[in-house]
Structure 1
Amino acid sequence: MKANWEKIEKNIGVLDVEVDADQVTVALDKAFRKVVQKVNVPGFRKGKVPRGIFEARFGIESLYQDAIDILLPEAYTKAVEEAGIEPIDRPDVDVEQFGRGQAFKFKAKVTVKPEVKLGAYKGLEVPVEDAAVTEEEISAELNRLQQRHAELAVIDEGPAQLGDQTVIDFEGFLDGVPFEGGKGEQYSLELGSGSFIPGFEEQVVGLNIAEEKDINVTFPESYHAENLAGKPVVFKVKLHEIKRKNVPALDDEFAKDVSEFDTLDEYKADLTSKLQERKAKDLEGARELAIVDKAAEGAELEVPEVLVNSEIDQMLKDFENRLRMQGMNLQMYYQFSGQDEAALKEQMKSDAQKRVRNNLVLEEIAKAEGLEVSEADVEEELENLSKLYNRPAEELRDIFASNGYLENLSSDLKVRKAVKFLVEQSKSA
């Protein structure tokens, strides 16, 4: 087999591949054995039609596509190895020649991992922030815990307030006509949560039980439904229920209810220690990211759009999973936020570009410094994951292997080693 690689622009090139005619013959034989099992020819059982009769009836050309499907993946993989390139997307293949007794010739347009020219990455100076916990941070955490342990009480009288959990009916009208997606019944809405379009929740404030009101709002210009974007509408709203948080007092009884301690002072001391540990870990992570950002800023590379799009897709999946944990989904989010998928992806694009750039630079640093991942490193990571997911390490290994993710796991570990290397080589500003 012959393979020639020619770069045509940025991270794109063409693989010109020629496979020997004898391999084409082998592929045609395999294709015949596969196809003959499915054809019906009078006088012969399935799978028993002689090759000559098959070709006379259907033509040798009827085997070409199956033979190409058999031959192409292996030929492409070998050509990639021979050319020493790292594809990051599916190739665009153009078959130039295929036939019995002929060499198989094809061109593959390939997007490859970009070349990275590293800048300075050793001895980078990044500030070290003080990890001491302030009284304000302790108070904020205690307030958060109070809110979490607050009980919702039904309010029979009095107007709705910001922070209340309400149940409402609503129906939206554009120029006096109801619009699609603008109606809800017995809908739970926390006032001040920002779930609805701007101005809606604030106008529910002040309503009493069973009271109705016309709420006038204007949809954002960027709203995903073009017929509503930037348009003033009226929502007819009826309030059915108000629930208000009863926040527990911050005292010894509260400490007993939420912890194993008997006094608030003991609980605060333990909370301070845990906040200190969490803050130190967060600051360490932030410093690592700052060091990586600085190393990436000094590098020269073209960030491929295909990797950015792939990262955005992953970010979107992660975001959807977080929404599900909150009892929402993407369609609800789009309706409430006034965004659509295209707008959300555009919002994520800058962060995705940064992530891809940083990762490519870290991979190049690992290569430059000869950082390798051993089998022991992989085993250690599998053991860590085993404790996290409460499943045997060997079972996790089998899952990774069957899905082709073991190589990804090794790549992730190598990137982590590169981050650790950068931190060890850095200086405190």
Structure 2
Amino acid sequence: MKSAVETLDPTKVRLTVEVEYDELKPSIDHAYEHIAQQVVVPGFRKGKVPPRIIDQRVGRGAVLEHAINESLSGFYRQAVNETNLRPLGQPEVEVVKVPDVNETEGELHFTAEVEVRPEVELPELSGISLTVDDVDVTDEDVTERLDALRERFGTLVGVDRPATEGDFVVLDLSAKVDGEEVDTVSGVSYQIGSGNMLEGLDEALTGLSAGETTTFVAPLAGGEHEGKDADITVSATTVKQRDLPAADDDFAQLASEFDTLEELTADLREQVASTKTSNQAVQARDLLLAELTAGDVPLPAGVVEAEVVRHLEGENRLEDEEHRAEVTEQTNTALKNQIVLDILAEKLEVKVAQNELLDYLVNASRQYGMDPNTFIKTIDENGQIPAMVGEVARSKGLAVALRQVTVVDGQGNAVDLSEFIGSDEEDAADEVAEAAQDATTDESAPEESTTEADKA
């Protein structure tokens, strides 16, 4: 088989493929076998009709068409692998030449236009310097953490005054659209300032005392009339404030394993420092990604449009042009990041170990609230394992890259992120451990025991 690539633009190529008759013949033979199972010819058992009779009854053209349709995807994949292309979309295939129907020779020629991953030159990692925030733990940070802990042990007490931010209001609410009541709730407890119900509700409740009612206009957040402006009537049944326990040794003993408030605050200070150190790793990762994607990255328009349409169809918002613009921007960013991180992972020769993939899948199953085994089986059946491997490789590639750049804080001090991104020495140890495990694996184990994670 011969294949050649013509670049049409930075994200699209035309692949020309020439398949010799001998390479197509197995598919032709299989086509005869398949058609023999379908046709009924007097004097011949089903499945035993010879090719010459099939040529007479069905036509050799139909046989060739069956063989070509069956084998085309395989020849396309083979050509993609041989030419090292990275397709991002589905190809537009055109058959330009087929073997002569009257002869047992001739070649199959076809072209495939497909959007591919563009060539992108990444900056040298050794020349990148990232500046992250200092780990500066203030008394205010510790007080905020302590107050949050006190709130967990606080009690709600009714008050006879207008409601303010932070108060809890037990309310009744009704919504009308064009004069028709479309929703109503009663006895709901809502904290002013949480912003997790209707737009404008915080402002409407502020200043409202128990037994008072007010109205306002807001777009509905869900249901049949989602997005439509509604006339909202809200009544405050009760106003409550949260009373916090005193910050003393008794509270320390109630809320923690410590005997004194001093010990508790010291531990909270360490927690804040740990959180801010972790935030440095997240900040460094985001800064590095921004640095890597700062240059021009051509994006395949067809792939972007297909993803945008899929997203909008899922939300039944194909006609919402404003939302289309938002989704298009998000898709462009996500695809740009994916392209750059895939190139980075290949450049760094990142490999995904079985345990890394398994850890990722288990964590993903928790996010979806699914049993890990059920989740892994589902994505395997849907052919999504390769996509999961890609996600792990991108994340790992970014971590490996962070080890090769310079990371400093606002004072110019070097920042050690090895706790969060590992180290090259740890990778070497992992490789030795995996090699030792492979060496002790029972080679007589049945092949059927291999999982999809192993294959990945």
- TM-score greater than 0.5 by the shorter chain: yes
Q: Which amino acid aligns with 1:200?
A: L
1:115-158 CA-to-partner distances (Å, cap 9, x unmatched) read 113445433333353212111111222222333444556x5977
Q: Which ranges of structure 1 fall in alignment gaps of 5 or more residues?
A: 317-329
Question: Is 2:396 the partner of 1:413?
Answer: yes
Displacement, 1:71? Answer: 0.8
Q: For residue 277 of structure 1, what is the aligned residue in structure 2?
A: 274
Q: Name the % identity.
A: 26
CA shift in 2, pair 1:228/1:111, >3 Å:
closer
Q: Which residue of 2 aligns with 1:372?
A: 349
More displaced, 34-43 or 129-138?
34-43
Structure 1 residues 178-217: aligned runs within 5 Å: 178=181, 182-186=182-186, 188=188, 189-205=190-206, 213=214, 215-217=215-217
User: Given the superposition, is the C-alpha separation of residues 171 and 127 from structure 1 closer, same or farther in structure 2, using an over 3 Å criterion?
Assistant: closer
How far is 1:89 from its partner?
Answer: 1.8
Q: Is the 8 A contact 2:165 2:192 kept in 1?
A: yes
> Which stretch shifts more, 139-148 or 9-18?
139-148
Deviation per CA, 1:264-308: give whole Å up to 9, x if none.
Answer: 2111111111211221121133134324423442x4432345676
Q: Deviations over 1:345-385 (max 9, x none)?
A: 754655654554455445545656xx3335xx725635866
TM-score (normalizing by structure 2): 0.67
Going from structure 1 to structure 2, the CA distance change for 1:2 and 1:385 (only over 3 Å counts) comes to closer
Partner of 1:75: 75
Query: Conserved in 2, the CA contact under 8 Å of 1:167 and 1:186?
Result: yes
Provide the rounded CA distance (Å) in 1 between the counterparts of 2:134 and 2:409. Answer: 17
Contact preservation (8 Å) 1:122, 1:425:
no
The change in CA–CA distance for 1:106 and 1:162 in structure 2 (over 3 A counts) is same
Greater relative contact order, per chain length (Cα 8 Å cut-off, separation 6+)? 1
More deviation, 417-426/135-144: 417-426
Distance 1:240 1:140, change over 3 A: same
Within 2, Cα distance between the matches of 1:45 and 1:244?
87
Between the aligned partners of 1:367 and 1:43, the Cα distance in structure 2 is 60
Looking at structure 2, the residues matched to 379 and 199 of structure 1 have their Cα atoms a distance apart, in angstroms, of: 50
Correspondence for 2:10: 10
Which deviates the most, 303-312 or 411-420? 303-312
Instruction: Tell me how many residue pairs correspond in the alignment.
Output: 392
Q: 1:303 corresponds to which residue?
A: 299
State the 1:252 CA deviation: 2.7
1:172 alignment counterpart = 176
Q: Tell me, what secondary structure is at the counterpart of 1:114?
A: coil
* Residue identity in the other structure for 2:172: I
Contact 2:345 2:394 (8 Å CA) reproduced: no
Secondary structure of 1:257 counterpart: helix
Residues of 2 paired with 1:425 and 1:280: CA distance? 12
Q: Work out whether 1:133 is the aligned partner of 2:137.
A: yes
Does structure 1 conserve the Cα–Cα contact (< 8 Å) formed by 2:131 and 2:408? no
RMSD over aligned Cα atoms: 4.8
The TM-score normalised by the length of structure 1 is 0.71
Q: Which runs of structure 2 are paired with 1:25-424 in the superposition (5 Å)?
A: 25-37=25-37, 46-63=46-63, 66-98=66-98, 100=101, 101=104, 102-119=106-123, 121-151=125-155, 155=158, 162-163=165-166, 164=168, 166-174=170-178, 176-178=179-181, 182-186=182-186, 188=188, 189-205=190-206, 213=214, 215-217=215-217, 219=219, 233-237=230-234, 245-297=242-294, 299-305=295-301, 346-347=325-326, 350=329, 353-354=332-333, 356-358=335-337, 360-364=339-343, 371-373=348-350, 378=353, 381=356, 403-404=385-386, 407-408=389-390, 409-410=392-393, 412-423=395-406
Residues 72 and 184 of structure 1, relative CA distance in 2, 3 Å threshold: farther
